[in-house]
Structure 1
Amino acid sequence: MTILELHRTDLRGKTLDAMALRSVLPRADVDVAAALATVAPICEDVRTRGVPALLELTARFDGVGITDVRVPAEQLRAALADLDPQVRAALEESIRRARLVHADQRRSDTTTTVAPGGTVTERWVPVARVGLYVPGGRAVYPSSVVMNVVPAQVAGVASIAVTTPAQREFGGSAHPTILAACALLGVEEVYTVGGAQAIAMFAYGARDADGTVVVRPVDVVTGPGNVYVASAKRYVQGVVGIDSEAGPTEIAVLADETADPVHVAADLVSQAEHDPLAAAVLVTTSEALADAVDVELQRRVAATKHAGRVEEALRGRQSGTVLVDSVEAGLAVVDAYGAEHLEIQTADARAVAARVRSAGAVFVGPHSPVSLGDYCAGSNHVLPTGGTAAHSGGLSVQTFLRGVHVVDYDEAALREVAPHVVALAESEDLPAHGEAVTARFGA
């Protein structure tokens, strides 16, 4: 193997604004908009032909011939019965911790008295039905079942469906560990459809050739996936709600000279093993640390199971080291980058982390690696990527709730405010708006 060194961007001595920083920082060549040309006909095929299209697309893209898109209930039960006890215990602990964190996200209804006799109540109402996507390409992700299902359940969603790609290795069914995780969480509606066609299936629903409804449409689609999944979510947004366009994973580490290069390198490798397009970015004030991380990466990549995939990710233009003059400058860099996962490995890490404004999730200090959040921190690992953390948050209970205002005014309260309503209606040249109020008082 040739020498592996992260590509370096030296920003020392430079003062760059957020726009300039975004143009020079490492970023993957993932064009969700360009993928729409591929995704649009797939989504339309599913919308118009339903299940027959899903079967054909699964054969084309996954190389698996299936005759039914839904997993039988007995297969879910069998998968749970056969689950390795250690994996089951780990999943149960992951679920317990996730429920603790997500339970505290549930909002309470609030009533505000605006005037005597006039109130506005904000009710938090769960959506009726959700479709949760669990990836299944290079790896198996039962943890993503937990991360999608738990907040939906805590929110009170009544109808939950999960889909994951069909696996040739398992005769066209899903990976047994994913099925077991669904069973453990009490999810009985599981499909073996992946990619853009899965997102379209949830958005539009799907009928069989004879017109029978096989999959009912959902209100919200969530879950991570590749660029085609992200593009499909963009395509159907508006027909359904989505969480975010979560693409290939990212890790950024903001570190100073106090950081341990072994920790930093291990964490970069841990995320790079997801995908050749995974991004691994080190932002540091210390050139000595950057050198030490490169040395440690060389050793770790050679020894890791998925060395080829990891090396491709680390050598890609989406990965690299950014040298900065100070932690303050480093904060500006990571805020401009907006990482899915951001580790703070600096002196006084908690104080530095408190100043971060743009990240999907922040991991503080040497004992909070991203992989903890992937599985058992209690936080959610379905997070915004590609810089969208600047305006979007991770999957949460709020994703599945809608705020509904309930307006309740009595006659006296309406009469008191009527002149203001009329004045505003007339200022907007909408006189009937005002008349809808005055008509109640014989005017």
Structure 2
Amino acid sequence: MTSFFGSVFWLLVTLGVLVTFHEFGHYWVARRCGVKVLRFSVGFGNAIWKHIGRDGTEYQIAAIPLGGYVKMLDAREGEVDPALRGQEFTGKPVWKRIAIVAAGPGFNLIFTVVAFWLMFMLGRPDVAPVVTAAPQSLAASAGVQPGDRILSIDGRSVGTWTDAMDVVANALLGRAPLPLTVRGHDGRTRELVLPLDELPPGQDVGQYLGKLGLKLAPPPAIAATVMPGQPAALAGMRGGDRIASVNGQAVADFAAFGKLVQAEAVKSPVLAIAIERGGRSLQLNVTAKWESLEGLPPKWVMGVGAPAIESATVSYGPVRAMTASLGATWHNTTQTFGMLGKMLTGEASTRNLSGVIGIAEVANASASMGLPWFLQFLALVSLSLAILNLLPIPVLDGGHLLYYLVELIKGSPVSEQTMVVGQYIGLALLFTLMGLAFYNDIHRMLLS
């Protein structure tokens, strides 16, 4: 499946699951509150599939998959049969209307907790936060050295690369100095400070990450495996040998070793490889071969395998997984509100907003990494939908909740004129947000 079609497919899966769950919340609570549901629609526009249920509700999947709706019996939309007035939405007590409207975001929140819970039980494959710093980057100026293991960031312990980058990405929005505790190759613990305050304002997190230069450390320059009959084995190299240099040029890590082999073998396939074995230094002459492996373009090979990157799978039992799920939900909720607050105050750039294109790309990437990663992605998007829908913007659930809270306080419904004006304002705000997110997606695509 190509990247484009994969992105489209997983976007449809994501929207289909989350929109259905959100609208089911409205539907389920409306039915429990005695409101007649006329239509349950996943998507907008013309129906591509529909079914009339025994309860008289029309269930449909519509052509435009960017949302959905539950249409209830509503006196504001026309005459209501006197026999059905007891099932009409606006005639219900205000607390029931609040419950019906809040149910959509509430079900998204429930979905978030369940998705995180399943992810923690299945086990999310990850890697240890062993890092390096790009040359002349902020991380390098802070003192990050190759092979440093991050222990905590801003006082929060981190055990995986994903956890570490989650904290860093959030901190980049505020651009304040970020304390870092690391443990080096020598076993010593060091306290560092990432100078995020030196980053220029008005850029998105992706640009900031590039300037920060904090990266996963490549595997060390150790011959983890040496294939029998291949050049390295024929020259006397063994598994576990540490590679010190190629033709007199020092080797920092396994990635650097691979680049040096390609660069030096072009001049001569006979390479002088210095290794360390059992405390002794040895010199080997290895004749590299020009070969194509597994259908890939040909290159110089020696038959040496890299060490595996240290894994750090996050996996818990059912009870611990639920505790972790609730913690992850709370943490991401506070982060999301914090990001929104920073955008409103101008502390963080609106370039960090992503639209449907960005969601599609991340959906495809997370699905390709396995079910636990896709569950985490669904949880985060579901949480974002819950928070977005609770914003006090007319046309969103939060806008309707605002009207009903005003009704509770003043003792009478908001006037028809106020609601119409609010609808126009809400649509304008919503289209502005959608346009800005879409612009950011296109801008990132053009820069990538």
TM over 0.5: no
- TM-score range (shorter-chain normalised) is under 0.3
Q: Normalized against structure 1, the TM-score is what? A: 0.26
